[in-house]
Chains A and B, each alone.
Chain A
Amino acid sequence: MAYHNPPTTPRKSATFDDYTLSEIRRAAATGIYDIRGAGAKRKLPHFDDLLFLGASISRYPLEGYRERCDTSVVLGSRHAKKPIELKIPITIAGMSFGSLSGPAKEALGRGATIAGTSTTTGDGGMTEEERGHSKTLVYQYLPSRYGMNPRDLRRADAIEVVVGQGAKPGGGGMLLGQKISDRVAEMRTLPKGIDQRSASRHPDWTGPDDLEIKILELREITDWEKPIYVKVGGARPYYDTALAVKAGADVVVVDGMQGGTAATQEVFIENVGQPTLACIRPAVQALQDLGMHRKVQLIVSGGIRNGADVAKALALGVDAVSIGTAALVALGDNDPRWEAEYNALGTTAGAYDDWHEGRDPAGITTQDPELMKRVDPIAAGRRLANYLKVMTLEAQTIARACGKNSLHNLEPEDLVALTIEAAAMAGVPLAGTNWIPGKNGF
């Protein structure tokens, strides 16, 4: 019997994988780069690569349901007359009205308020929905200055000077014309229906020395009442943190590359900036070197999903974390109940990231009056509050197991890393060893 030549199994390239091929075809067909939200999707070193050790003979735990584990945090005690006091160290990150619908902003305010934390405006000014429903509201001061005015500055509980964000350190924004409703256009002082570019640099200051003077102006306008945050993308966390402190910030916010409800080019999201995990220790180190750790608070964002992530960030020296993507999911974003509509948009629940296009089936990242009705701000706010409370309970569970009566007592010594990369980035030993890569010359 003749032996036929056996065929080899068709093999696809690891370099030119299906996604890459589809992106080349898409670019060739459309002549424009892909823009999307949702932050870096590639696999990155992250909190999953860290583990807590828990209690042992030398460390004893706290009783899970009986012994108190404090979760509160005070932000802005350095200079502000009225620092912010939060019940939990998880805040809601800045997301603009314009990007998000009015009901979605209201839901964020409601959820954050029930849970005892703050929410944040975005690149589109302050809306009544969010001011009215947010006990504590952080007002972003952005390069575009869309909607900026002194009345809202004084109605805010804190001011966040945004230098950059994790999705695009060094990049500006673009809100496509289809999301520019009459109301969005009015708030941004631009004609309806045109693409709105957000500048990447502030119009009236450049560099740390100017920033110091700009912060002085904001303090003078608000009579030194409001805490002033400075938010940077995860680019040079050591120096950016140090310079923000030098410029007079009360709070430094560092946003890693997994962060990004902001829409920008796929190539930007995936290739610029550092992972959240890589940003934390340099930022903490900068504060420690300046003697400002715990005096200037550090907030970290980008890929925070659960109480373990919160606890790990705090153990590495962070004062609070911030969530954006996870908050939208809690409101109902990417819910499989809309699968048929996601399919019609050429995607699937869990992968939908064209938040900038205004056709969000979940009704969150849209200005379409019919779609936005799908968000019930009360119910969605309740879901967000539930989620925030679960994350807090989870973080407390871990902290108690480590013998800590406050989340802020967690420390790097409670952690080990599963990979050499994570060990090096977090500055904690590789599991099963006492080796911290890069420390003591090894």
Chain B
Amino acid sequence: MPATPMSKAEREQGDARVFDLSQHSLRELNEALHKLTPGSNETAWEVLNPKGSHSVAVGVDQPITIDVRGSVGYYCAGMNDGAAITVHGSAGPGVGENMMSGLIVIKGDASQYAGATGRGGLLVIEGNASSRCGISMKGIDIVVHGNIGHMSAFMAQSGNLVVLGDAGDALGDSIYEARLFVRGKVESLGADCIAKEMRPEHIELLQGLLDKAGVTGVKASEFKRYGSARKLYNFNIDNADAY
């Protein structure tokens, strides 16, 4: 989807630090973000002309806001620890990989491995996510407004993956303790992943996540929950066919 241009009011507001990637290098951007200290006044950043650049705003560790005006390449917001980063476009593979805390919002679609190994924070994808969404997730919450691709939540350890649309093949293969909530159709479940009962505490948890992600008009009760059957937690030769 096209980049959202800044409004006239935003430009005139002038309190965001604007960083134009057509004028400055990626390295300058990330170094400037890493130099921020807890007391910094530069809490609002705007990145222009990302044009598919990889590693935009990676390793940020301060509670600032960053608006990226356009689509990004691989690993945007990688290892984010506390920032609120919005991509006004689509994101390439590995967006928000290994996020520690904070918020990442993708206005468009996300490619493979969105939120891979994330440990905390919330990743919201307002479009669709491709394959391996939430792979090896370790505590992150991911909310996808659209569909997700195959092998999503592979070896997912902890955290919550919420999908308003459909999920592709082999959802939650070899999953550990992560919770998966899917509103639409699941093409197939992976090894050791099963449908589970939606108990009141899950409805409450899910509703909280939907609220946090700004989802309206959708009820938690419309979702099904999936998680680990825990049959592969300790190796047993008689389960060898399951792998």
Contact residues of A with B, CB < 8 Å? 30-32, 144-145, 148-151, 153, 174, 177, 188-191, 194-195, 197, 199, 203-205, 210, 213-214, 216-217, 220-224
Contacts and interface: CB of A to CB of B under 8 A. Distances in A.
B136 A220 contact: no
B79 interface: yes
Which of A189, A195, A197 has the largest count of B CB atoms less than 10 A from its CB?
A189
B226 interface: no
Nearest to B78: A217
B46 interface: no
A221 B176 contact: no
Contact of B93 (A191, A204, A222, A223): A204
A177 B233 CA distance: 9
Interface in B95-149: 97-98, 100, 112-113, 116-117, 119, 132, 135-136, 138-139
Contacts, number: 110
Interface of B: 26-27, 30-31, 34, 54-55, 58-59, 61, 73-75, 78-79, 81, 93-94, 97-98, 100, 112-113, 116-117, 119, 132, 135-136, 138-139, 154-155, 157-158, 174, 176-177, 233-235, 237-238
Contacts of A188: 157
A30 to B, nearest CB: 8
A149 B140 CA distance: 13
A220 B100 contact: no
Contacts of B79: 149-150, 153, 221
Contact of A216 (B54, B112, B234): B54
Contacts of B94: 204-205, 217
**Helix, strand, loop or mixed for chain B's interface?**
loop
B61 A145 contact: no
Given A148-B98, A224-B27, 8 more contacts: A31-B237, A174-B235, A190-B177, A191-B176, A195-B234, A203-B113, A204-B75, A214-B74
A220 B58 contact: yes
A191 B75 CA distance: 28
B58 A221 contact: yes
Given A145-B136, A148-B98, A32 B237 contact: yes
A220 B73 CA distance: 14
Contact of B119 (A31, A144, A177, A189): A189
B204 to A, nearest CB: 23
7 contacts: A31-B238, A150-B79, A189-B139, A191-B177, A204-B97, A220-B27, A220-B55
Nearest to B237: A31
Contacts of B139: 189
B157 A190 contact: yes
B98 A223 contact: no
Contacts of B138: 145, 189
